[in-house]
Amino acid sequence: MVFSTLVPLQAVAFVLVALGAPLVVLTRDPLRQALVNGVYGITLVLLFVVLQAPDPALSMLVVSGIAYPLVILAAVARVRGERRRPEETKDE
Amino acid sequence: MSYLPYAVAAWLCLVGLAGVATSRNLIHLAICLTVTQSSSYVLLLSVGYVEHGKAPIFKGIPLHSTAVDPVVQALTLTDVVVSVVVVALILALALDAHRLSGTVDPDGIADVSG
Amino acid sequence: MSRRLRLALLAPALLGLGGLFAWAIAGLPKFGDYRGPYGYVLNQMVVPLRHSTNVVMGTTFDVRGLDTMGEEFILYAAVVGVTLLLRDESGAGRVERRTRRARSDTVRLIGVLMIGVGLLVGLWLVAFGYITPGGGFPGGVVLAGAILVLYLVGSHRDYAPFRSEHALDPFEGLGAGGYVITGLAALALGLQFLTNLFGYGKAGTLLSAGSIGILNAASAIAVTVAMLLLFAEFLETYVAPLEPEDVGS
């Protein structure tokens, strides 16, 4: 009747994704947010697998495990590196 | 609850937008954008789902079994990888703003003149 | 516009947008009730026509090949944008950071194993992309990740070949341009742009699906080199290193 077209496994996957998103947004420190984003990516992979989509699941797994932490950590490292040398950034 | 998938997609979009608007750090802003992007993936894959359908890979299963829509999967798959590079571009903009104004706070950058 | 005013405007705006979403969702068909004929047509037609058992890859590189070419050029343009933004014009000399190899033997061993396994998995994903799930896009990212483990574990001299943009730029062009050249080759033969040129082979083996294999490899090269270029641009330091380490072994 009400749950007719959703298999319970799919309902659980959707609810996990809906719970993970506010956690990513509410983490304010970018370094920690990179880790929480990785966990959110894994809940998305679970959802894609349960929705019978193996190709997007592979892409999301690889991207949220390798590519996003890489790019975010490189940006944070560069911001912190430049913050230690403030006299270099003011000349133009 | 047959509309739960679409409600989750709408919720993700709103949460991401709220994060972008209330952010105090440009890098945090870029990651909140990825949450909004993921709402589009959830919506696409939910629209393409066929009841009792299998994955559209026909190696090992008979050729005429019911399968879910492959077009939305093709869109999602390329979009996921390309959006990493676009987020890298946004982060490069944030680094440039930090170099010119000395802060990563979006409210602090507006005070730079010249 | 002050921050408080901005936040006060945000809540009604989000509520309004939520109301519009609710109105739109009420008009959608139920989850699982798939209406469009295009999905059914593709699932029946792509395997007999193109001999590619992965219908998603057949759609990405053949039925909707023009779309994927556009996505590859988005990738290319974003990498060009990052390069232009992060390159320093003021002439501050580029000093290369000197790092050492990881000191612990265990870390080096695990790093070498990860590089080997990562390269194999990446090549397998790319090569079998049109038979089983995978393809050029995730395979390219795995290959780039395996090469970056070399950056984590090795010294600056180990990673030097993958850091120079002069060596990497031709490969990026090869990836993006290879796609267009394959399409133009079909034009030169009098067919439409991006028509599948070669014979189709036997479905389920590596020698199948015509020019989908070539387009797959071109996009894998483009994605791998784009990730390596991004990393090289983000980590170039334009000031003297903070703690000058002695040149390690």
Per-residue confidence band for C167, with pLDDT thresholds at 50, 70 and 90 = confident
Q: Is residue C6 part of a domain?
A: no
C9 domain residue, yes or no: no
pLDDT in the model for residue C241: 42
Evaluate whether residue C93 is within a structural domain: yes
Residue to mutate among A2, A51, A61, A87, with most B CBs inside 10 A, is A51
Residue C14, domain member (yes or no): no
Q: Is residue B43 within a helix (H) or strand (E), and if so which, with residue range?
A: helix B26-47
| pLDDT, tens digit, 9 for 90 and up, residues C90-100 | 545 556 667 77
CB proximity C49 to B under 8 Å: no
Does C13 map to a domain? no
- Dihedral pair phi/psi, residue C130, rounded to 5°: -95, 10
Contacts of C141 in chain A (CB under 8 A): 59, 62-63, 66-67
Q: What would the pLDDT profile of C22-66 be if each residue is shown by its tens digit?
A: 999 998 888 888 887 888 888 888 888 888 888 898 888 888 888
Is residue C12 a part of any domain in this protein? no
Distance between CA atoms of C45 and C51, rounded to whole angstroms?
A: 10
Q: How far is CA B92 from CA B23, B55, B99, in A?
A: 17, 38, 11
pLDDT of residue C246: 45
Residues C114, C31: Cα–Cα separation, whole Å:
41
Give the model's pLDDT for residue C1.
66
Is C75's CB within 8 Å of B85's CB? yes
What is residue C242's predicted lDDT score, i.e. its pLDDT? 45
Is B114 in CB contact (< 8 Å) with chain A?
A: no
Q: How far is the alpha carbon of C168 from chain A, nearest alpha carbon, in Å?
A: 18
Beta-carbon separation of B79 and C71 below 8 A: yes
Output DSSP code: residue B55: -
Nearest by CB to A66, which of C56, C134, C145? C145
Gap from A75 CA to chain C (nearest CA, Å) = 7
* Placement of tokens 């991207």 in the chain: A63
In a domain, C18, yes or no: no
Look at residue C43 and tell me if it is in a domain: yes
Rounded distance between C-alpha atoms, residue C217 and residue B74, angstroms: 17
Give pLDDT tens digits for C127-142: 988 888 988 999 999 9
Q: Are A49 and A9 spatial neighbours (Cβ–Cβ below 8 Å)?
A: no
CA–CA distances in Å: residue C47 to residues B51, C85, C86, C207, C248 = 22, 45, 46, 14, 55
Range of the domain at C187: 34-238
Distance CA B49, CA C111 (A): 40
Distance to chain A for C92, nearest Cα, Å: 10
Answer whether A41's CB lies under 8 Å from A68's CB.
Answer: yes
Whether B31 sits inside 8 A of A78 (CB atoms) is no
Q: Is C148 on the interface with A (CB under 8 A)?
A: yes
Q: Which pLDDT tens digits describe chain A residue by residue (92 residues)?
A: 334 467 889 999 999 999 999 999 999 999 999 999 999 999 999 999 999 999 999 999 999 999 999 899 988 988 887 766 554 444 44
Please tell me the total count of domains within chain C: 1
> Does C132 reach chain B within 8 Å, measured CB to CB?
yes
Residue C97: predicted pLDDT? 67
- B55, B80, B92: residue with CB nearest A59: B80
Q: How many CB atoms lie within 10 A of CB C248?
A: 14
Smallest Cβ distance to C78: which of B6, B77, B86? B86
Choose the mutation target among C142, C151, C162 for the interface with A, i.e. most A CBs under 10 Å: C142
Touching subunits of A (3+ CB pairs, under 8 Å) are B, C
Provide the residue type at C70 as one letter.
G
B108 touches chain A (CB under 8 A): no
Inter-chain residue contact B81 with C137, CB threshold 8 Å: yes
Q: What residues of A are in contact with residue C31 (Cβ under 8 Å)?
A: 5-6
CB spacing of C53 vs B59 below 8 angstroms: yes
Model pTM? 0.88
- Under the banding of pLDDT at 50, 70 and 90, the label for residue B35 is very high
Determine the distance from the C-alpha atom of residue C180 to the mean position of all C-alpha atoms in its chain, rounded to a whole number: 17
